[in-house]
Amino acid sequence: MNGIPNRTDEIYNTGVFVEKAHISPDETASANAKAFNGIPHLSRAMNTNDPTIALVGDSHAQHLFAGLDVHYKLTTENLFQFDACTPMNVNLVESDKIFDCSQNAEEVFGYISKSKTIHTVILSWYGQMMFSGGRYNQKTYRSVRFKDNPIIRNNEEIYIEGLKRTIEYLEQAGKKVILVLDNPDLGFNPLNDLRPVSFFYSDSDKKGVLPVSDYKKYTSLYKSRIYMMLREFPGTKVFDPSQFLCDSIYCYGIKDGKLLYFDPDHLTYDGSVFLGRNFPY
């Protein structure tokens, strides 16, 4: 119960234990969202004015909200965050049944397309996972197919085509699109590198970092396919978090004494605000 003498206390006293690393629920933003009764899958809202910017995606959209909230509070915009675990406006099926995420996304995008005040849509999700299974080639989404063209069985093709259709849909509805590429998946929890005793340190002698060469190795195809597809959409903006979370040598889970990630691929509040302050749109 008391832990290792002088060790467990040290972890708690530094204020970086996992409970304090996660982004706490924004009670104000959640309450603001509840004021808009009937809007599908609305999770958080900056204020109770009409929405102007929609942030759509999974947990990788959720962890950006705090930073974008800081960013847009300097403007007259009102940011809404919608939960749509695969934010692509296409009908996907899994084992011949409608994929739950597709149904959610259809409802969210249907609302956004009809909104007279939302002018910009920010798409952010764990796209690398759907594209290729992610850093560790996990099998999530491996059985997902297009309902209208199930013959396409390659995950990469489904991802790129689905993203293309979504951007087309939003642009036809008169919306500007900002695509957020995946932030680096570190492959380890940098929080463990701050613990005085841990069996889960990262391999690097420099704690809390991933060699940028490793990051580029597993994302090169993902990024190249996206940028190639985006040639058809010159109006679509791209935000690449790696430009700020990485330098020429490392990608950082800990930087300038601050914990930027609370697990291998999700940002802390500090990490979110760091990206928000560098968000150019």
- At residue 250, the pLDDT reads 94
SS3 sequence of 26-38: CHHHHHHHHCCCC
Both tokens assigned to 136: 């560790």
Residues 6+ apart with CB under 8 A from 274: 67, 244, 255, 258, 260
- Output the pLDDT for position 146: 80
Residue 253: other Cβ atoms inside 10 A = 31
172 Cβ neighbours under 8 A, 6+ residues apart: none
User: Is beta strand 237-239 parallel, antiparallel or unpaired with respect to 250-252?
Assistant: unpaired
Q: What is the pTM of this model?
A: 0.88
Cβ–Cβ < 8 Å for 260, 245: yes
Nearest 10 degrees: Cα torsion 167, 173, 175, 181? -20
Question: What domains are defined for the chain?
Answer: 8-183+212-242 (3.40.50)
pLDDT for the residue 229: 96
d(CA 134, CA 52): 32
Tens of pLDDT along the chain (281 residues) come to 455 544 444 444 444 444 445 566 678 999 999 999 889 999 999 999 999 999 999 999 999 999 999 999 989 999 999 999 888 888 888 777 877 788 899 999 999 999 999 999 999 999 888 888 777 766 655 678 788 888 888 888 989 999 999 999 999 999 999 999 999 999 888 877 666 555 544 555 567 899 999 999 989 999 999 999 999 999 999 999 999 999 999 999 988 878 899 888 999 999 999 999 999 99
pLDDT reported for residue 14:
47
Compute the distance between CA of residue 201 and CA of residue 191 in angstroms, rounded to an integer. 9
Grouping H, G, I as helix, E, B as strand and the rest as coil, residue 255 is strand
